[in-house]
Amino acid sequence: MDQRAVNTHLNSLTIPTTSRGQIDYQLAKESVIREFRRGRLSKADICDAQPELLRVARSVGVATSQPCPICEQQSIVHVVFGFGTKLPKNGRFVANWHELQRLSKSHKKISCYLVEVCTNCEWNYLLRMFAKESKVADSNSDTQ
């Protein structure tokens, strides 16, 4: 998926796409796909989505118009997970910016991960990591 498509999805979630505090894994993803197409990686090596990720992708993931780069039979789905000190150990699915804002009010910092998933062949790849920091929590910590 090209950068514009990822940004379009993030905008559909109304999650900001600024570069501050972000890591983009697009180049690494393209390298994995290239190695698969050259026969250096097997489908079993790269199509290994965990059951919970597949469940979330099937039930609440955001469909895209991009075909799966591996099986090319189904469109990929995007899911965003948030991790923070008071969130579940396995993370929490974040449906939209409002939910992320709500979570950030009770957590100083949340690390979010945008993952693309194919529910057909179980391809999954981390597209982007970004941090969401609470300004309220930051200002409270400054006064202590």
Q: Per-residue pLDDT for 14 more than 80?
A: no
CA terminus-to-terminus distance, the chain? 45
d(CA 42, CA 14): 36
Q: Which two tokens stand for residue 19?
A: 């570069």
pLDDT tens for 15-35 read: 444 445 789 999 999 999 999
Q: How many CB atoms lie within 10 A of CB 12?
A: 12
Domain definitions of the chain by residue range = 3-143
pLDDT given for residue 107 in this prediction: 63
Handedness of CA 93, 95, 100, 106 (dihedral sign): negative
pTM higher than 0.85, yes or no? no
pLDDT tens for 68-123 read: 999 999 999 999 888 877 776 777 777 766 777 777 676 667 788 899 999 999 99
As beta bridge partners, residue 125 has: 116
* Residues contacting residue 70 through CB under 8 Å, at least 6 positions apart: 33, 36, 43, 46, 47, 118, 121, 123
* Residues contacting residue 60 through CB under 8 Å, at least 6 positions apart: 79, 93, 95
